[in-house]
Structure 1
Amino acid sequence: MAASELQHEQALKRFLDERPELRHELDHLNPLLAQAKGETAAQYRDERLHEAFEAEAERQGLFAWELTLQLTAATTQDYEAQRLEVHREVAEMAGMDWLEYCDLYGIEP
């Protein structure tokens, strides 16, 4: 059960709410930069927001979907349960043994 689009949108909102300086920066982007990329100002802003979100996840040593779960889970236990569930799904899709996968990604099974 990977993070849903709704969860991701909620996580982005919370992420931005917790970073007023980032919101200010995103609200004052140069529209010529968007135009140069062939994007609307909104598309360009969204792209910068997603880049900041991914960078924060990386800074914390997380995948972006883990940061999404972290920002939207009701409790720490809820986050850990959802995180393990997704990692199990990824291990299955990769055809990897669960303990091998845990060892590779430093996960406590």
Structure 2
Amino acid sequence: MAASELQHEQALNTFLDERPELRVELDHLNPLLAQAKGETLAQFRDERLHEAFEAEAERLGLFAWELTLQLTAATPQDYEAQRLEVHREVAEMAGMDWLEYCDLYGIKP
């Protein structure tokens, strides 16, 4: 069960709430830069927010969906359970043995 769109939106809001300096930066983007990319200012802002979110996930050594789960899970145990569930689904879709997958990604089964 990958993170839902609603969970991701909640995670983005939490992420932004925890970074007031990023909110200020996003609220003061140059509209000409958006226009040059053929985007509305809202689209341009949304793209910058997603880039910052993904950069933070990478900095933490996480996939973006893991950061989404981390920011929306009720407890650390809930996060870990959801994270393992998604990793199991990915391993299954990839046709990989679970223990081999865990070894490859440094996951404790």
TM over 0.5: yes
Runs of 4+ in 1 over 6 A off after TM superposition: none
Shift of 1:53: 0.1
Tell me how far apart the structure 1 counterparts of residues 93 and 70 of structure 2 sit (CA, whole Å).
23
Shift of 1:101: 0.2
Normalising by structure 2, report the TM-score.
Answer: 1.00
Shift of 1:44: 0.1
Structure 1 match to 2:97: 97
Shift of 1:18: 0.3
Gaps in structure 1 of 5+ consecutive residues: none
Shift of 1:59: 0.1
Tell me how far apart the structure 2 counterparts of residues 100 and 33 of structure 1 sit (CA, whole Å).
46
Tell me how far apart the structure 2 counterparts of residues 40 and 89 of structure 1 sit (CA, whole Å).
36
Tell me how far apart the structure 2 counterparts of residues 4 and 99 of structure 1 sit (CA, whole Å).
26
Tell me how far apart the structure 2 counterparts of residues 44 and 84 of structure 1 sit (CA, whole Å).
33
Tell me how far apart the structure 2 counterparts of residues 3 and 18 of structure 1 sit (CA, whole Å).
20
Shift of 1:92: 0.2
- Give the secondary-structure state (helix, strand or coil) at the position aligned to 1:74: coil
Gaps in structure 2 of 5+ consecutive residues: none
Shift of 1:26: 0.2
1:1-109 map, 5 Å:
1-109=1-109
Percent of aligned pairs with the same amino acid = 93
Tell me how far apart the structure 2 counterparts of residues 16 and 58 of structure 1 sit (CA, whole Å).
17
